[in-house]
Amino acid sequence: MKAILEQYFIENGQLDLLSWGCLKWQKKQASFNDKGIDAPLESILFEPIASVPSKHFYIFLADHLGISTEQAAIQYEHFIQNLFDGHQEQIPLESLGTFIFNNGILNWQNQFISSDFYTDLFLNKVTNNTIIEDVSEADKDNWILFSSIIAILSLLAILFKFYH
């Protein structure tokens, strides 16, 4: 069931753990500063405030377990009670983090570090000075040749269209 709960959290950004609290995915968008762009920040926060899962959660759970939503609610309550019964010091959620009991208090240790995926972008200021390339006299005369060729081809196309 842990894998299903992790998948729900990744898809929806929140996982309610009944009387134990709630895991939330917190996102801060990238922002501009004087030197460039600050990378977006994402973290998984644990709020130790009792929360009730939504109907959408129970439907998701029921679909993945192949049972009714009522049975999913009962199995989820039983699973959470067994998971946080206090017999384990650490409760890992493999790809997200670990719950740790310290003196009967439940804490969250996040394994997701957004700086591993996003980095700040530093930009150098660009001046408005244009770079003038050295152009030889032969290059200056070539544009007359190319435009003359295009003009002649255009006239030939018009004459061909007119007489055919």
Q: Give me the mean pLDDT over the 79-102 stretch.
A: 85
Res 130: pLDDT: 61
Q: What is the mean pLDDT of the chain?
A: 86
Whether the per-residue pLDDT at 151 is higher than 90: the answer is yes
- Kindly tell me if the per-residue pLDDT of 120 is higher than 90: no
Longest dimension (CA), the chain: 98
If one compares 73 and 134, the residue with the highest pLDDT of the two is: 73
The per-residue pLDDT for range 16-61, each reduced to its tens digit, is: 998 888 999 888 898 888 888 888 888 888 998 888 999 999 999 9
Question: CA-CA distances (angstroms) from residue 52 to 71, 76, 85, 164?
Answer: 16, 11, 18, 81
Cβ-proximal residues to 60 (8 Å cutoff; 6+ apart), any chain? 4, 8
* pLDDT the model gives residue 138: 59
Name the more confident of 105 and 79: 79
Average pLDDT value for residue range 101-110:
84
Contact call for residues 93 and 104 (beta carbons, < 8 A): no
What's the confidence (pLDDT) of residue 14? 92
- Percentage of the chain beyond pLDDT 70 is 90
Q: What is the distance between the alpha carbons of residues 14 and 130, in angstroms, rounded to a whole number?
A: 52
* Structure-token pair, residue 8: 């729900």
Average pLDDT over residues 140-151: 83
Is 128's pLDDT higher than 80?
A: no
Tokens 């709630």 sit on residue: 22
pLDDT at 131: 60
Taking 90 as the threshold, does the pLDDT of residue 75 lie above it? yes
Q: Is the pLDDT of residue 134 over 80?
A: no
Report the distance separating Cα 122 and Cα 19, nearest Å.
45
